[in-house]
């Protein structure tokens, strides 16, 4: 099955700092006309940094949810930017680590019901510790957790950012299989 | 660490059909002033329907990403709606199944960098098959997949919706542990 929705018209109705909103008029497979509000942004690079049986996570406040989250390191892409270069840079900035090995493992759409955002997710191994260099207005700290402890934090709801839950569960399964 | 961002002012800059956009001016921990664009919506209920070693998934076109996705059944909440009642209804509408047992297993924020959306995720078991009753303008089909096959589809990128990847990996681990 492949239903699509034909775009009849569209316009940008809001230009923001990290996304734009586009309103489309579409024709459904049954001929009905519908409108679609869509968030457009260039996506992000996400890193799963692994050291032995530990994973490095960052803690930061997210105004949208008015809460502090424990997350995989990540950074917004610029349009046209290479996701792997972004992953390398953000890992260093947010955690201080440099990875000798970066392997693309997943591309995820976090909210395809209303956003075109795509997350390029890399497994980072062979890590070397250096100094974190966050932006002046970025308040973030990093810490290594045993993967078993991170899984328990998912079970109890302490880790509840979607990409982070997906990434930790994915990496845990991958590492178990390669044992 | 708990950095927060004090809201100095805010206004709704776009009212859409499934979300609003709010623009806030905030004070950062270092005293700097910044703006935050935030998507507000009432969240959604998501269902992980399990029958023996199979999982029931739905296929639907998502205009935002201009692609067809294989996803966990899900439905938007109304403000104030009980997520469990929404989960029951959406499971029936999208797949035809009714669950004798619904258990809340996860609450996830799919995009906390810019959206307040929260997903209430339920494991559905003891399923009884009936007729699917999608809305007139909803084009959706459902199918049961072996969980092992769904995991392989994550590995190869055929399943790439964030909540679905997190939900399948979570359920697979849960079911393996209870064996």
The interface pTM score, or ipTM, of the predicted complex is 0.97
Q: What is the pLDDT of residue A1?
A: 52
The segment(s) of chain B belonging to CATH 3.90.79.10 are 44-177
Count other Cβ atoms within 10 Å, centred on residue A145. Answer: 18
- Of A152, A178, A154, nearest to A166 by C-alpha is A154
Question: Is residue B128 over pLDDT 90?
Answer: yes
Question: Is residue A77 over pLDDT 70?
Answer: yes
**Which run of H or of E encompasses A155?**
helix A147-156
Query: Residues of A with CB below 8 A from B112's CB?
Result: 62, 64-65, 67, 69, 161
Average pLDDT of the residues in A99-114: 97
Q: What is the pLDDT of residue B134?
A: 83
Helical H segments across chain B, by residue range:
83-95, 147-156, 162-177
Average pLDDT of the residues in A138-158: 96
B15 touches chain A (CB under 8 A): no
CB-based contacts of A64, cutoff 8 Å, min separation 6: B36, B38, B39, B111, B112, B113, B114, B115, B116
Catalytic residue among B81, B136, B138, B156: B136
Q: What is the pLDDT of residue A136?
A: 86
**Contact between chains at B37 and A16 (C-beta distance less than 8 A):** yes
Question: Is residue B129 over pLDDT 60?
Answer: yes
- Of B88, B98, B105, nearest to B178 by C-alpha is B105
Question: Is residue A2 over pLDDT 80?
Answer: no
- HEC string of B72-85 equals CCEEECCCCCCHHH
The pLDDT confidence band at residue A179, using thresholds 50, 70 and 90, is confident
Question: Is residue B91 over pLDDT 60?
Answer: yes
Question: Is residue A17 over pLDDT 70?
Answer: yes
Q: What is the pLDDT of residue A10?
A: 97
Q: What's the rounded Cα separation, in Å, for the pair B98 and B88?
A: 7
Give strand pairing partners of B11.
B23
- Which of A18, A35, A37 shows the shortest C-beta gap to B37? A18
pLDDT tens by residue, B146-173: 999 999 999 999 999 999 999 999 999 9
The pLDDT confidence band at residue B122, using thresholds 50, 70 and 90, is very high
Q: What is the pLDDT of residue B1?
A: 52
Average pLDDT of the residues in A26-36: 94
**Contact between chains at A60 and B107 (C-beta distance less than 8 A):** no
**Contact between chains at A112 and B38 (C-beta distance less than 8 A):** no
Average pLDDT of the residues in A130-158: 94
Residues 37-76 of A with CB under 8 A from B: 37-39, 41, 44, 59-69, 76
CATH architecture of B44-177: Alpha-Beta Complex (3.90)
- Which of A21, A116, A137 shows the shortest C-beta gap to B14? A21
Least trusted range by pLDDT, from A144-148, B1-5, B87-91: B1-5
Probe site for chain A from B63, B117, B136 (most A CB atoms < 10 A): B63
Q: What is the pLDDT of residue B161?
A: 98
Tell me whether residue B117 is one of the annotated catalytic residues: no
Tokens matching residue B56 = 């029931």
Q: What is the pLDDT of residue A3?
A: 77
Residues 156-175 of B with CB under 8 A from A: 157, 160-163, 165-166, 169-170, 172-173
Question: Is residue B123 over pLDDT 90?
Answer: yes
Q: What is the pLDDT of residue A137?
A: 87
The percentage of residues in chain B with a pLDDT greater than 70, rounded to a whole number, is 99
**Contact between chains at B107 and A157 (C-beta distance less than 8 A):** yes
pLDDT tens by residue, B34-86: 999 999 999 999 999 999 999 999 999 999 999 999 999 999 998 899 999 99
Residues 98-127 of B with CB under 8 A from A: 106-119
B17 touches chain A (CB under 8 A): yes
The pLDDT confidence band at residue B137, using thresholds 50, 70 and 90, is confident
Q: What is the pLDDT of residue B2?
A: 59
- Which of A38, A160, A169 shows the shortest C-beta gap to B173? A169
Average pLDDT, chain B: 95
A148 touches chain B (CB under 8 A): no
């Amino acid at each position: 099955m492949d239903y699509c929705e034909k775009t009849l018209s569209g316009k940008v109705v809001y230009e923001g700092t990290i996304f734009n909103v586009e309103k489309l008029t579409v024709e459904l497979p049954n001929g009905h006309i519908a409108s679609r509000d869509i968030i457009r942004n260039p996506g992000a690079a996400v890193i799963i940094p692994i050291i032995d049986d530990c994973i490095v996570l960052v803690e930061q406040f997210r105004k949208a949810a008015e809460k502090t989250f424990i997350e995989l390191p990540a950074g917004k892409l610029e349009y046209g930017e290479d996701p792997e270069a972004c992953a390398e840079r953000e890992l260093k900035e947010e955690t201080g680590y440099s990875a000798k090995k970066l392997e693309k493992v997943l591309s995820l759409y976090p909210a395809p019901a209303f956003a075109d955002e795509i997350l390029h997710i890399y497994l980072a191994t062979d890590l070397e510790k250096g100094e974190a260099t966050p932006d002046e207005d970025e308040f973030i700290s990093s810490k290594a957790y045993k993967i078993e402890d991170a899984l328990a934090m998912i079970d109890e709801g302490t880790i509840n950012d979607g990409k982070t839950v997906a990434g930790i569960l994915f990496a845990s399964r991958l590492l178990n299989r390669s044992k």
